[in-house]
Amino acid sequence: MKQLRFYQYAIGLLVLLNISIILFFFLGKPHPSPDRRPRGENFQLQIAEILQLDTQQQTDLAQLAQQHGQQMRAIDREQRTLLRPYFYNLIGSTDTVDTVAILQEVSQLERDKIKVTHQHFQDIKALLTEEQLPNFEKFINRALDILLLDTKGRPRPRGGGLDHDTPL
């Protein structure tokens, strides 16, 4: 009889333990993944700290970041409109889509992204005083780490190059 009572308590304890573990996973605060790119204000605060920006420079940086984001989103939208017919051409029975022309346009848009980002970095550099310029190299290194590489030095997956937040 005592053995039966022991097993009943053991089973009850295990059930409570399982329920508490399940609740911990569902109710626990989610932590951002380490390879996620910093976005918005968090990254702007990191930049402001690296470059030691004053309040006015931080305001100017926020405007530059907003403009850069708008330009990049516009280019991404153009790419999506081009790439959709390119891939839907695989379904169709006729070759009505000029795939070579689409690829050239997409390549041009990628070059435009690089140029826009380069100009954005030049605009940020123009905000800096002589005392802040030595920090610009550290900023560029950090920005390139985020844009191009993850922490292990492998190229980042970019969601097909279309939407940086949504995986394929």
CA distance 77 to 99: 18
pLDDT of residue 163: 43
pLDDT in tens, 39-80: 555 778 888 899 999 999 999 999 999 999 999 999 999 999
Tell me if 99 sits within 8 A of 82, measured CB to CB.
no
**What's the pTM value of the predicted model, to 2 decimals?**
0.63
166: CB partners within 8 A, 6+ apart: 159
Domains, the chain, ordered by start: 53-168 (1.20.120)
Q: Tell me, what's the pLDDT at 23?
A: 85
Cβ(117)–Cβ(68) below 8 Å:
yes
Model confidence at 167, pLDDT cuts 50, 70, 90, reads: very low
* Contact (Cβ atoms closer than 8 angstroms) between residue 157 and residue 164: no
Residues 120-126, mean pLDDT to the nearest whole number: 94
Least confident segment among 7-11, 142-146, 152-156: 152-156
The whole-number pLDDT of residue 35 equals 46
> Looking at residues 30-46, what average pLDDT do you find?
62
- How far apart are the C-alpha atoms of 70 and 107, rounded to whole Å? 19
* Sequence-distant (≥ 6) Cβ neighbours of residue 167 within 8 angstroms: 157, 159
Residue-level pLDDT at 156: 47
